[in-house]
Homo-oligomer: A and B are copies of this chain.
Amino acid sequence: MLKYALLGFLNYQTASGYDLKQLMDVSTSNFWHAKQSQIYTTLKALEKDALVVSHIEPQESRPNRRVYEITTAGQEDLKNWTAQPITEIESRKEKLLLKLFFSAQLEPEIILTELRLQKNLHQAQLEKYQTITKEVIKQFASSLDMQEDAKLWETTRRFGELYTEMYIRWLDETIENLEG
């Protein structure tokens, strides 16, 4: 799957593994993320499959950059993938809920402290979606002149916003429930 995230970005412009990590962190991290090391190994695999090609870009006073470019085969693979519909619901994993499910023997105060901490974290996250992420999308959209693309990016930002609002609401409900 990470494969397609990388092809997707490279379909806009060439980039190094380092660049791709930065791009993901400010754009898709809301619904797709990866460690730097995994990005490097996946890029290598993509080059082996001839979906991308790379060349070294020498730099003074900085380590050399290995810059990747998508190939025609890569573009086709990407397009095939986007055109293929998903016919199932994605299943989630939420460590916090798992813990909560099995926490009946715990002191209620311990649970409540954890939920309150989560609320703080999610409130900070929500602000990020509403300010930084929104700004980043605007910047990209205007600088590259891609209003149409930005429309889709905005829908994914909106998901993050709605999700986090929902999460906070659930935390509020749950906290109230356990306090009473």
Contacts and interface: CB of A to CB of B under 8 A. Distances in A.
Interface of A: 1, 4-5, 8, 11, 27-33, 78-79, 81-83, 85-106, 110, 113-114, 117-118, 121-122, 125, 146, 148-149, 151-153, 155-156, 158-159, 162-163, 165-166, 169-170, 173-174, 177-178
Contacts of A155: 100, 170, 173-174, 177
Contacts of A1: 93, 95, 98
Of A32, A81, A94, A102, chain B has the most CB atoms within 10 Å of the CB of: A102
B96 A90 contact: yes
Top 5 nearest A-B pairs (CB, nearest first) are A8-B102, A31-B97, A31-B94, A104-B149, A166-B166
Contacts of A82: 99, 102-103, 105-106
B100 A156 contact: yes
Contacts of A83: 106, 110
Copies in the complex: 2
A27 B102 CA distance: 12
Contacts of A118: 86, 89
